[in-house]
Amino acid sequence: MISLTQKQRDRLAVLRRHVIKNDHVLKGEEIADIQEEVTSWPVVGDLPPDHDFFEKLDLYESDGSKNGTQCLRGLCHWLWLRHACVHGMLFTPGRLVVLQQRSEIVSDSPGYLDISFAGHTGTKNPQQAARSEAYEEVNVDLEDANNLISEGDLTPLKIYNYIEPPRSDEEFYNVEIRFVFAVRISGLAVGGMFPRDREAGSILMATMSETWNLLRTHKIASALRFSGPEALYFAMKEWDWI
């Protein structure tokens, strides 16, 4: 967490009120001016160049379309700017649901049960981001047709807006367009799965009914809690997986 002065926090609060009035999105020139101001703060300028704060994210309108502007990830979360993420549920040939146990070392929902893969789209389109996150988190290469049952599964089944309750003590404000995927993978893909990055602690598989029951437990990450039911219901309705 980046330590801010009270003056900096007050300045962000002013900017955030402006963002809220503009439906959580701003245009390019205005974003450029704000980024120039904030990145001049020593607390930001002293961050290493590869810090997550500096990742570029596309900004989105509430209808799920890009507004043509990019913003730094850290600033998106400070100002409550709408960006996009992908949430993907993987399903095995044996009709099992692939779930992820988040690592204990991450700051957000450590040790919580989560959807198969999830992450910011950054500047990629949702399909590209889904492929990237599946590979980076659980080592499933969705570019390889041998790992897929159907290419059609790489079309989002649901797109929705999500506003997370503010974590004002952390200066963290999150509003997202979420693209949800349900993807049937082959036995070959299942055999090659393992947690690749620091966010994924372990991988487990559960039946449909077990997964529905798990959604009632306390330690469930946001992606699984809100997007998980959409993917599960889609599998029941479209694939007849009861």
Is 148 part of a structural domain of the chain?
Answer: yes
- DSSP state letters, 192-208: T----STTEEEEEEEEH
CA distances from 202 to 67, 116, 214 (A): 36, 10, 16
Are residue 174 and residue 141 in the same domain, yes or no? yes
Give backbone dihedrals phi and psi of 123, rounded to 5 degrees, phi first.
-110, 10
Under 8 Å between Cβ of 92 and 185? yes
Task: Quote the pTM value.
Answer: 0.94
Phi/psi at 132 (nearest 5 deg)? -65, -45
| Domain count across the chain | 2
Question: pLDDT by residue (tens digit) across 13-34?
Answer: 999 999 999 999 998 889 999 9
Closest to 181 in 3D by CA, of 234, 114, 135: 234
199-231 tens-digit pLDDT:
788 999 999 999 999 999 989 999 999 999 999
Same structural domain, 99 and 175: yes
Interval 27-73: pLDDT, tens:
888 999 999 999 999 999 999 999 999 999 999 999 999 999 999 99
Residue 203 placed within a domain: yes
Range of the domain at 223: 84-238
Mean per-residue pLDDT over the chain, rounded: 94
